Chain A
Amino acid sequence: MNKWYIEKGDQGDVVLSTRIRLARNLDEYPFPCRLDVDGKNKVNALIKSVLFENDANSFSYIEMKDLTRQQAVSLAERHLISPEFAAKKDGSAFVLSADEGVSIMLCEEDHIRLQVMKAGLALEEAYDIADKLDSVIDSKLKYAFDERIGYLTQCPTNLGTAMRASVMLHLPALTRCGQISRLANTVSKLGLTIRGAFGEGSHPGGDIYQISNQITLGITEETAIANLKSIVLQLVAQERAAAAETVKNPVEEDKIYRALGVLQNARLLSTDEFMELISTVRLGAARGVLDINIEKINELIVNMQPATVSVMHAGADTPSQRDAVRATAVREALA
């Protein structure tokens, strides 16, 4: 079965993917931070049985203690689990659908972290899937819920709908013309936040950003999604306008071809260098300068992350081995 991130999505030239995440807790049990391993296993088994009773075929159940560190980090690189969850062992497990579009972390910060991923901009569709699965669990298990403050979560920042909707955007042209911090400020006034999606810290790798809703209490799921969607569409329009101007500039056009040249010929490629170059190539492909399939580039961005390279290729355990393997894989993909 094709993984979700290989599909082509709406607004796919700028929007990489959409994610909806719902946080839920069972009323009967303390939250994971106050639960020992036995308690966590009990909670996990309960939720697993409900999910598998509903649909045994499309899900697999994976315990974190059975994964190597590299496998766990690779899952985080693919955004299937959170980086915090990747470090967990006993008492933590997750449920994954065959196309990796649905993943449900059990006993992360909350008992249930249900997330649905879709290619391109697909907020309503992703929410619909998440909502239906959530209702299945809700019909069998009693959630921690309060009429006044909504779904009860370990961290009060998630109270209310406990829904985080995020969209991953590739904004190379806006980054190049220094517009991101201005946009970030504007967006924060609208109850949303933008941050780098790869390489957390000061410099967002590959000009890829994640924009998501910040407020969850007092705003319905539909309104939060509609707000986010309208801002995303504006960002998409701004990026397109800036990108159209950028590629007209002969210096920028030269950079695009040079980036492709390096990717097609390099024998060693570090993650940082790869991310920088692929971003430039993606800009060229999205604006019709280069005739390269965007989905192929998206897939490379996912598969060339360090731990994922190690998991997918034998003998790629050290950074220098990975750089060689990465260069070969990129060369073959862009030949």
Chain B
Amino acid sequence: MLCQNCGKNEATTHIKQIINGDMAESHLCSDCASHLGYKDVFSGFGLNLSEFFGGLLGDMTPSIPGGKTLRCAKCGSSFNDIAREGKVGCAECYRTFFDKLLPSIQRIHGKIKHSGKSSTGAPESVKVESTEEKIEKLKAAMNEAVQKQEFEEAAKIRDEIKALEGGEN
């Protein structure tokens, strides 16, 4: 859809407003949106949606070799679908495209580790640790071993870390 204001650019900002009890919809490109004052109530702070979508789009480099598009097994979304719409399709999408989504997630929240309430329905066994997390845990264990002067144990952990780091490169 093209921007309703300039009619030239793709509309990326979709605004639903209630004006005097009636619903009004406008579809604008990001330039017109900011020009017309549809940023935040206060300019220059916070995170506005079009910026965020833009941020996601920034990662949308065609990175699949061989031309075969990786799709989510459950809802059929490709990563490009998600980036274009700024909407993740289902829980499985997060598993399928985890590594690709992570930079955007980090940009939004600054952190990439959940803390707080946990769902009881998500069994621990389902969890797959990333290499990074494994290394982090091992490093903590190694430091602990050194503190306790259990150097043999520490050396063993160090070798494990080396193996993991080697595997990553």
Q: Do A and B bind each other?
A: yes
Contacting residues, chain B, for A180 (C-beta < 8 A):
42
Let me know if B16 and A84 touch, CB within 8 A. Answer: yes
B contacts with A: majority SS: loop
Residue A117 CB within 8 A of the other chain: no
Residue A248 CB within 8 A of the other chain: no
Nearest Cβ in chain B — how far from A303, in angstroms? 13
Known: A30-B89, A193-B46. A143 touches B109 (CB 8 A): no
Cβ contact of A193, chosen from B20, B45, B121, B127, cutoff 8 A: B45
A307–B21 Cα distance when bound, in Å, is 5
A151–B113 Cα distance when bound, in Å, is 12
Contacting residues, chain A, for B16 (C-beta < 8 A):
83-84, 87
Let me know if B121 and A143 touch, CB within 8 A. Answer: yes
Nearest Cβ in chain A — how far from B83, in angstroms? 11
Let me know if A160 and B116 touch, CB within 8 A. Answer: yes
Residue B120 CB within 8 A of the other chain: yes
Known: A155-B86, A181-B42, A195-B42. A217 touches B112 (CB 8 A): yes
Residue A194 CB within 8 A of the other chain: yes
Contacting residues, chain A, for B44 (C-beta < 8 A):
185
Nearest Cβ in chain A — how far from B128, in angstroms? 9
Known: A30-B75, A155-B86. A142 touches B116 (CB 8 A): no
Nearest Cβ in chain B — how far from A79, in angstroms? 11
Name B112-156 residues within 8 Å CB distance of A: 112-122, 124, 127, 130, 133
Contacting residues, chain A, for B117 (C-beta < 8 A):
131, 134, 161, 220-221
Known: A73-B22, A159-B105, A214-B46. A27 touches B112 (CB 8 A): no
Residue B68 CB within 8 A of the other chain: no
Contacting residues, chain A, for B45 (C-beta < 8 A):
184-185, 188, 193
Contacting residues, chain B, for A131 (C-beta < 8 A):
117
Kindly supply a per-residue 1/0 record for chain A positions 269-302, scoring 1 wherever the CB is within 8 Å of any chain B CB and 0 otherwise. Answer: 0010000000000000000000000000000000
Let me know if A83 and B101 touch, CB within 8 A. Answer: no
Let me know if A202 and B18 touch, CB within 8 A. Answer: no
A34-B89, A83-B16 known, 20 other contacts, Cβ within 8 Å: A30-B75, A31-B75, A73-B22, A83-B18, A141-B121, A147-B122, A148-B113, A148-B130, A149-B105, A152-B94, A157-B47, A157-B108, A160-B116, A163-B116, A195-B41, A202-B41, A218-B109, A220-B116, A220-B117, A310-B21
Q: Which 10 A-B pairs have the closest CB atoms?
A: A218-B111, A306-B21, A150-B114, A144-B91, A145-B119, A217-B109, A188-B45, A307-B21, A30-B90, A220-B116
